[in-house]
Amino acid sequence: MPETEHETAYALGTSRTLWELVERRAALTPGRPVLLQGDRTLTFGELRDHAERCAAGLHGRGVRPGTVVAWQLPTRIETAVLSFALARLGAVQSPVIPFHRDREVGFALRESGAEFFAVPGVWRGFDHTAMARRLGARGIFEAYGSLPDGDPAVLPPPPASGTDVRWIYWTSGTTSDPKGVLHTDRSLIAGGSCLAHALRLTADDVGSMAFPYAHIAGPDYTVMLLLYGFPAVMFEQFALPEALEEYRRHGVTVAGGSTAFYTMFLAEQRRRPGEPVIPTLRLLAGGGAPKPPEVYHAVVRELGCRLTHGYGMTEVPMVTMGDPEDSAENLATTEGRPPAGMEIRIAADGEVRLRGEAVCRGYLDPAQTAAAFDEEGFLRTGDLGHLTASGHLVLTGRLKDVIIRKGENVSAKEIEDLLHTHPDVADAAVIGLPDAERGERVCAVVEQAAGTEPLTLEAVTAFLRGAGLAVFKLPEQLEVVEALPRNETLRKVLKYKLRERYS
């Protein structure tokens, strides 16, 4: 890439607000496409103009700076326009994943104090408008095929500060009620900048959004598009092989999402060996879930592209990211390096702690905020890991995923990584289960590869022994399932459901 493009991207990353970033990119390349969906194309200039008209329409409905607006919308061009319209107004946004239902949505509406709620109407057979009314939501309006519209002349000046809380994202709530995570425009720009610069992308690339735009990855990815001036294909409903036509049609060069997406692309490639499933693909990238080294090697070997994996969470959308030019060893076994401005500290117990501009401001509940940060202002992640001599981060598991068997610590991730090298295992999760004699016993839950002989505990433990796993770490229970339980965003395995099922 010419140095001037890099310099432009870094300069845009200094924008105080997301709206300032939109305006600066639109002034530079107004006619370049930013979002592609089916036969539709939205340019950077149109994104700015449509968002301003939508902001005027919202203003006419009573939305003002600081007004809390919740939205539960699919990955669609209108969703991005509405979100940037709210950013133009300086409203507080509370995105809700469209797959969530009464319990999670009702909680988000109550806790955020949302004064308006944008829904898609009936989507994928579910009536979101009826649910909103059932929950007593205020200011309900549908924003699927059309958006509020008005004359931008009525708008107040755009927000000047990027450090005010204007975003409430929701954690998955897998073991209790979700947490409302507080973000600013600057924290989202910082996270997206880390992703953009690490991947070494150019204006000639074509990306893809196969995940819910309401996920924290939505602004993360969009910031990347704005910084480097290239488009992405949006998938309202993602499934393979159906989505492959859109990847090919638009010449996608960068795809991914998380480890589950990598394995889905691999499965498609294995159905048609010798024929690239996406001929233009040069890079898979993602994060949000552990990446076994064998998955990295399989992608490079079979898909013929590079794979970079990163580390992020709702509280910190991007912590580290792999560099496509890094060594195969680092790309396979680490989560990459942090950008300038992200401090990583490894606590005495091995917990990864974070401090920097991309870190959230805390939670809606002040008590949760107090518990989440240590005395020096570092966020406690609950993840275990270490930094290599070269500054790469290696994650070794979760604090809650350390299985204590007869007083010995067992890493679930170590066993999972080895199981992924078994030719008959498609995916695996390892959990600790209560055991009267041992304290906890090691249980491996696996999806089998198609067309393979049924696995047995004896065969699995023999394989792990042969791979050099210590005897005290060997699974004492094996469960074979058709599909591991996953969430609907980045397809992360829900281990709490496995613990509930097998305890």
Which is more confident, 152 or 472? 152
CA-wise closest residue to 494 among 170, 98, 174: 174
Whether the upstream peptide bond of residue 156 has omega within 30° of 0, thus cis, is no
pLDDT digits (tens, 9 = 90+) for 309-340: 999 999 999 999 999 999 999 999 999 999 98
| For range 353-366, the mean pLDDT | 97
Above 70 in pLDDT, residue 375? yes
Above 60 in pLDDT, residue 175? no
Enter the tokens of residue 267: 């499965």
What integer best gives the mean pLDDT of the chain?
93
| For range 14-25, the mean pLDDT | 98
Q: Which of 109-113, 277-281, 339-343 has the lowest mean pLDDT?
A: 339-343
Pairing of strands 165-170, 402-405: unpaired
In what helix (H) or strand (E) does residue 444 lie, and over which residues does it extend? Answer: strand 439-448
| For range 263-279, the mean pLDDT | 93
2: confidence class by pLDDT, cuts 50, 70, 90: very low
306: confidence class by pLDDT, cuts 50, 70, 90: very high
User: Mind giving me the DSSP string for 346-365?
Assistant: E-TTSEEEEEETTS--EESS
| For range 88-96, the mean pLDDT | 98
What is the model's pLDDT at position 41? 98
| For range 80-98, the mean pLDDT | 97
- E strand segments, 223-370: 232-234, 254-257, 283-286, 306-311, 320-321, 342-346, 351-356, 362-363
| For range 329-353, the mean pLDDT | 95
| For range 376-386, the mean pLDDT | 94
| For range 25-54, the mean pLDDT | 98
CA-wise closest residue to 463 among 414, 418, 431, 430: 418
Q: Is the pTM of this model over 0.95?
A: no
Above 70 in pLDDT, residue 170? yes
Quick one: CATH architecture of 406-502? 2-Layer Sandwich (3.30)
Q: Which of 137-141, 238-242, 352-356 has the lowest mean pLDDT?
A: 238-242
What dotted CATH number matches 3-186? 3.40.50.980
Distance of CA 255 to the CA centre of its chain: 13
Quick check: helix, strand or coil at residue 111?
A: helix
166: confidence class by pLDDT, cuts 50, 70, 90: very high
Q: How many residues does the chain have?
A: 503
CA distance 160 to 23: 13
Residue 102 CA: distances (Å) to CA of 96, 114, 133, 314, 376: 12, 15, 11, 21, 38
| For range 454-478, the mean pLDDT | 92
174: confidence class by pLDDT, cuts 50, 70, 90: very low
Please give the order of strands across the beta sheet that includes 477-481.
425-435, 439-448, 477-481
pLDDT digits (tens, 9 = 90+) for 222-257: 999 999 999 999 999 999 999 999 999 999 999 988
Above 80 in pLDDT, residue 3? no
Pairing of strands 140-142, 116-119: parallel
**Which single residue is written with the structure tokens 């022994």?**
465
Considering all CA atoms of the chain, what is the largest pairwise distance in Å, rounded to the nearest integer? 73
What is the model's pLDDT at position 398? 78
Q: Is 406-502 the same fold as 3-186?
A: no
Domain ranges in the chain? Answer: 3-186, 406-502
Above 60 in pLDDT, residue 173? no
Above 90 in pLDDT, residue 176? no
